[in-house]
């Protein structure tokens, strides 16, 4: 239903990658990762997207925000748990093991989950404890407010990135 209403670029890209692989007879493997946390050691994108964004906004505004009631939940994986999954998949493929590919080669990584309210309140508590914020109160944003604050005006980006289930 969502895809019919408004295309989601990542999903579109994933579908094209799989379909092109099938068309060209090239095996494809997709690792679908949720919120990745922890400090990466690669050359770029060493931090997650959401948490640093929420932290910067909280410091600027003096409080932590959450979209709606914060009951949306996401899975999460630590970078130190995710990197070995990439290594394992690569080793198995290079060794010629029978690893599912194409439409069956979609792997989901996660080691836990959180609600956006849990994340917001935990962050508010810690920033308050450290004296960075004067209050541990969490303020609730509408989806449109979140779109303007974090989504460059896009409700879809704000919902998918900071509020979805």
pLDDT digits (tens, 9 = 90+) for 19-47: 999 999 999 999 999 888 898 888 888 88
Read off the pLDDT band of 157 (50, 70, 90). confident
Q: What is the pLDDT of residue 15?
A: 92
Residues in the chain: 165
Domains and CATH numbers, the chain: 2-162 (3.40.50.720)
Question: What pLDDT does residue 164 have?
Answer: 85
Higher pLDDT, 120 or 161: 120
Least confident of 89-98, 99-108, 146-155: 146-155
Which pLDDT belongs to residue 1?
Answer: 62
pLDDT of 2: 61
The average pLDDT across 4-22 equals 86
pLDDT in tens, 48-101: 888 999 999 999 999 999 999 999 999 999 999 999 999 999 999 999 999 999
Angstrom distances, CA of residue 128 to CA of 57, 122, 132: 14, 10, 6
Predicted pLDDT of residue 98: 95
Q: Which residues are CB-neighbours of 59 under 8 A, at least 6 positions away?
A: 127, 132, 133
pLDDT at 131: 98
Q: What are phi and psi of 68, to 5 degrees?
A: 60, -140
> What pLDDT is recorded for position 4?
74
Please, which residues have CB within 8 angstroms of residue 135's CB and are 6 or more apart in sequence?
62, 63, 124, 128
Q: pLDDT grade, residue 112 (50/70/90)?
A: very high
The answer, yes or no, to whether residue 156 has pLDDT greater than 80, is yes
């Amino acid at each position: 239903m969502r895809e019919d209403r408004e295309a989601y670029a990542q999903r579109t890209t994933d579908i094209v990658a799989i379909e092109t692989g099938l068309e060209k007879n090239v095996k494809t493997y997709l690792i679908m990762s949720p919120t990745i946390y922890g400090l990466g050691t690669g050359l770029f994108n060493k931090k997650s997207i959401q948490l640093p964004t929420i932290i910067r906004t909280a410091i600027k505004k003096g409080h932590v925000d959450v979209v709606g009631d914060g009951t949306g939940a996401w899975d999460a994986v630590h970078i130190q748990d995710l990197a070995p999954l990439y290594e394992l998949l690569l080793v198995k493929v290079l060794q010629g093991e029978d690893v599912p590919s194409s439409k069956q080669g979609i792997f989901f990584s996660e080691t836990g989950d959180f609600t956006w309210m849990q994340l917001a309140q935990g962050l508010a508590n810690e920033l308050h404890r450290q004296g960075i914020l004067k209050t541990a109160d969490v303020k609730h944003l509408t989806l449109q407010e979140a779109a303007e604050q974090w989504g460059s005006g896009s409700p879809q980006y704000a919902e998918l990135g900071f509020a979805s289930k």
